[in-house]
Amino acid sequence: MSTVLEIEAAIRSLPKSERKKLAEDLPSILPELDSEWHAIISDSRPRPALSALGDKIAAQIKSSPQSIPEIQEGDFNR
């Protein structure tokens, strides 16, 4: 495999269990991912659209908590 497109295609063709394993291993394969995520998490710039979405969801939960389904044990096996 020599191009990003070929690598992406190969990853997409993996079974779900193998993709999950790869996702867990990516930070050790690509150390720059960790620093990029840290930069994103540490970035204090305002994100109005994301804040608005969070506010909308919080209002929905507050006004109608029963509209949000409770997490079931089986949800973790998907």
In a domain, 78, yes or no: no
Would you say residue 20 has pLDDT above 60? yes
The stretch 23-45 carries a mean pLDDT of: 83
**Separation between Cα atoms, residue 25 and residue 4, nearest integer Å:** 18
Domain that holds residue 55: 9-65
In a domain, 3, yes or no: no
**Separation between Cα atoms, residue 78 and residue 75, nearest integer Å:** 6
Query: Number of folded domains in the chain?
Result: 1
The stretch 4-26 carries a mean pLDDT of: 92
Per the listing, tokens 């050790």 go with 28
56-67 confidence digits (pLDDT tens): 999 999 999 888
The stretch 38-57 carries a mean pLDDT of: 89
For the whole prediction, is pTM greater than 0.85? Answer: no
Element (H, E) at 57: helix 48-63
pLDDT of res. 66: 87
In a domain, 77, yes or no: no
In a domain, 72, yes or no: no
In a domain, 71, yes or no: no
In a domain, 73, yes or no: no
pLDDT of res. 15: 94
